[in-house]
């Protein structure tokens, strides 16, 4: 059964790059969102197993999405993907429940390690 996956990034190019970074054997039903408002609408309307989440987006940023996921008790794994590499930001997203923080652009080998670490592949 395919894992429902949401890729949320305001950049179409970044969404495509994340999708291409997933291993070919990864059985996923992939949805996309271009901002946090769209992402939350999807997360609140259907079960999503894994979210790839950018931090800097219009309308609602990644921190806002993480806060809403936590507040609403939504059950999903979140991997943050961002160019913001400040240690304070990495600590903040971890405190809000993100499993991992990956630097943009996504390194497919590092992504595989994280997916294996959490039993997602």
In the structure encoding, which two tokens stand for residue 120, read together?
């997602």
The band of 31, judged by pLDDT with boundaries at 50, 70 and 90, is: very high
Q: What is the DSSP letter of 31?
A: E
Q: What is the pTM of this model?
A: 0.94
Query: Residues of the chain with pLDDT > 90: what percent?
Result: 83
Buried b (16+ CB within 10 A) or exposed e, 77-86: bbbbbbebee
Listed residue (70, 99, 63, 65) closest to 84, CA to CA: 63
SS3 content of the chain, % helix, strand, coil (to 5): 40, 20, 35
The band of 59, judged by pLDDT with boundaries at 50, 70 and 90, is: very high
Largest CA distance in the chain: 37
């Amino acid at each position: 059964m395919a894992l429902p996956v949401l890729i949320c990034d305001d950049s179409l190019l970044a969404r495509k790059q994340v999708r291409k970074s997933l291993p070919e054997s990864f059985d996923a039903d992939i949805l996309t969102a271009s901002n946090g408002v769209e992402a939350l609408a999807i997360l609140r309307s259907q079960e999503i197993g894994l979210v790839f989440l950018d931090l800097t987006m219009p309308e609602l940023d990644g921190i806002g999405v993480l806060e809403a996921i936590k507040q609403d008790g939504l059950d999903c794994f979140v991997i943050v993907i961002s160019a913001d590499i400040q240690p304070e930001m990495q600590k903040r997203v971890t405190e809000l429940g993100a499993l991992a923080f990956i630097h943009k652009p996504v390194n497919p080998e590092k992504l595989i390690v994280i997916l294996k670490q959490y039993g997602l592949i």
